[in-house]
Amino acid sequence: MFSARRAAFVSAKFSCRSGIIAEVPKVTFLPANETFEFESGKLPYKDHGLPESLLDVAMNFGFHLEHACGGSCACTTCHVVVKAGGANLSEMDDDELDRVEQAADFQLHSRLGCQAVVKGDVTVSIPEWNRNYVSEGH
């Protein structure tokens, strides 16, 4: 299928055997600087958050992104700040906006990892207050 952690410099698109050009978004999580890529529409759903959301991508590649509510837009533990490629995420709906505004360090480019669906290359940072969860593996 695809390797777990491929280098970030791989082309964003490739031709399938069918000749159809497939999108292969790259997702980078900071400050860990871990980059993962997948073929759009082919990522196995991990049952948390929206399919192909930042959380779904993280779970597929074994990268821990906290998700206390299981990805149902009911907490803010999956809060990330978009550093690049925000236009390559799904638009924020009212439910996500209402929830993410409650994040401890809500910022202009804040998103919920479980609700932001990846459409293209994107770089996000996990806020410092949430990194303890990451390092402790909660």
Residues in contact with ligand FES by CB under 6 A are 67-69, 71, 73-75, 77-78, 99, 112-114
Pick from 124, 114, 128: nearest CA to 28: 124
Q: What's the chain's Rg over C-alpha atoms?
A: 14
Count of CB atoms within 10 A of residue 86's CB?
16
Residue 75 or 82 with smaller CB distance to ligand FES: 75
Residue 24 or 53 with smaller CB distance to ligand FES: 53
| Distance in Å, CB of 52 to ligand FES, minimum | 15
Residue 71 or 85 with smaller CB distance to ligand FES: 71
List all residues 6 or more positions away from 47 whose beta carbon is below 8 Å from its beta carbon. none
| Distance in Å, CB of 100 to ligand FES, minimum | 8
Interatomic CA distance for residues 12 and 20, integer angstroms? 14
| Distance in Å, CB of 13 to ligand FES, minimum | 29
